[in-house]
């Protein structure tokens, strides 16, 4: 199975600031990567697929990048509603696997 590692389990960022969440795969996943946002008590929400493609309705302050094994989710101009836990997920091989999550809070 491909292991997905999110190096930061917790990040604290100022309102209006920029944050980068990183995700590293144990093998090359050829941009077959999705990012999810999960708020307490809610199901995950798909933000990005294909490493960079923003889902309809997701604010443009969210963006994804990366290649090979290393991927990032960036959020600019952080808003209070962005407080959540963020997960990456690879779908290059079965089983699809998730990173451990990065909890984002406002400083």
Partner 1 sequence: QVQLKESGPGLVAPSQSLSITCTVSGFSLTGYGVNWVRQPPGKGLEWLGMIWGDGSTDYNSALKSRLSISKDNSKSQVFLKMNSLQTDDTAMYYCARGGNWFAYWGQGTLVTVSA
Report the nearest approach of partner 1 to the CB of residue 74 (Å): 19
28 with 37: CB under 8 angstroms?
no
Closer to partner 1 at the Cβ: 18 or 52? Answer: 52
Query: In sequence order, what are the beta bridge partners of 34?
Result: 89
Scan residues 13-72 and list those touching partner 1 (CB under 8 A). 32, 34, 36, 43-46, 49, 55
Query: In sequence order, what are the beta bridge partners of 53?
Result: 49
User: What six digits make up the tokens of 92?
Assistant: 């290059």
Draw the binding track, 84-103, toward partner 1 (x: CB under 8 A; -: no contact): ---x-x-x--xxxxxxxx--
Residues that bind partner 1 (CB under 8 A): 1, 32, 34, 36, 43-46, 49, 55, 87, 89, 91, 94-101
């Amino acid at each position: 199975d491909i292991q997905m590692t999110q190096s930061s389990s917790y990040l604290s960022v100022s309102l209006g600031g920029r944050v980068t969440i990183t995700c590293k795969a144990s093998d090359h996943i050829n941009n077959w990567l999705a990012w999810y946002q999960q708020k307490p008590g809610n199901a995950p929400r798909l933000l990005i697929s294909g490493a960079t493609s923003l889902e309809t309705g997701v604010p443009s302050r969210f963006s994804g990048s990366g290649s090979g094994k290393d991927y990032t989710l960036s959020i600019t101009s952080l808003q209070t509603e962005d407080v959540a836990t963020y997960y990456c997920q690879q779908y290059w091989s079965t089983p699809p696997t998730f990173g451990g999550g990065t909890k984002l809070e406002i400083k």
